[in-house]
Amino acid sequence: MTRRRILQAGDTGRAVCQDCATVVPVTYCYRDVPFREMPGSAKGILSGTCDHCGTVVLIPAQSSPHIRYWLEKTTPPVRLMVSRAEMEIFDAALAQIHRRLVPEGRGSALIYAFRQLSQDPALRERITNALPAFQAEISSILQRARVKNLKVPTQQLRLSLSPQQAIAIRDLAGTMGLTLSDLGRAAILVFREAEKDLSAEQLRKFRADVLAQRFERVG
């Protein structure tokens, strides 16, 4: 078995530099490397830099774990704040699909709904139009509780996501013009509306797709 070469600062090589538009000599050193798809950078990454212009032109495979560490460190977690009134509705909708989804599959169900909203413009429009009525319904439930001096707790749902998933969810919230918490409410609506909007065959497929997800507990 061939042992992979372990690069160190000061090692040299050759590579194409896009800025110089030619093959250039490269020297490995530690640099801060900007992320491509989000603000921030990975700190102190062993990189191959162009000897002519100083641009990073190579990142060896051995640096990948360090880049992943900085991605996870600098990507804010996705936290959704919803009332327990909304969670009761969410859990009831999930239980209609399969009792195992409550509570073990809440996180997976939310991620599934986010993906559906991202990929299906018609669903996105339908849920966006239905969201104000849902928000008004929840406000009415909370108001009835306040009148009787009853407290409805707020629950924080923190999703365990890769940096790429977190970025995609924030982009989806921006596309829909929603806060993250309202995006969570939109995801709840995906499940609540499914039984009303889908045919029996579509509903069977919807249930199968949801149950195929890796279960993740939140809340």
Domain-located, residue 5? no
Report the chain's terminal Cα–Cα distance, integer Å: 47
Q: Which domain holds residue 33?
A: 12-74
Mean pLDDT for the stretch of residues 99-104 = 69
For residues 17 and 99, state if they share a domain.
Answer: no
DSSP 14: E
pTM above 0.95, yes or no: no
Same domain (yes/no): 57, 142: no
C-alpha of 57 from chain center: 29
In a domain, 109, yes or no: yes
Residues 70 and 106 in one domain: no
pLDDT of residue 217: 47
Closest to 138 (Cα-Cα) out of 152, 149, 158: 152
Same domain, 43 and 86: no
Q: What is the residue whose two structure tokens read 């849902």?
A: 134
Average pLDDT, the chain: 85
Same domain, 152 and 91: yes
Judge if 83 and 182 occupy the same domain.
Answer: yes
Section 33-59 average pLDDT: 88
- 103-121: pLDDT as tens digits: 677 888 888 899 899 999 9
End-of-domain residue from the set 51, 74, 97? 74
Better-predicted residue by pLDDT, 77 or 165: 165
Nearest CA among 181, 10, 22, 7 for reference residue 86: 181
| Shared domain check, 212 and 128 | yes
pLDDT at 156: 85
Three-state secondary-structure class, residue 199: coil
pLDDT digits (tens, 9 = 90+) for 137-187: 999 999 999 999 999 999 888 787 777 788 888 889 999 999 989 999 999
Q: Is residue 98 part of a domain?
A: yes
Shared domain for 47 and 141, answered yes or no, is: no
**What average pLDDT does this structure show over 24-35?**
93
CATH number at residue 16: 3.10.20.860
Tell me the pLDDT tens digit for each residue of 190-205. Answer: 988 876 666 667 667 7
**Residue range 193-219: average pLDDT?**
65
Give yes or no for a contact between 131 and 177, defined as CB atoms under 8 angstroms apart.
no
Q: How many domains does the chain have?
A: 2
Q: Does 140 reside within a domain?
A: yes
In this structure, the answer to whether residues 53 and 94 fall within a common structural domain is: no
Give the tokens for residue 174.
């921006």
DSSP code of residue 34: E
Backbone angles phi, psi at 12, to 5 degrees: -125, 165
The answer as to whether 1 is a domain residue is no
The answer to whether the CB of 53 falls within 8 A of the CB of 32 is no
Q: Element (H or E) spanning 191, and its range?
A: helix 180-197
The conformation of residue 7, written as its DSSP 8-state character, comes to: -
CB 56 within 8 A of CB 31: yes
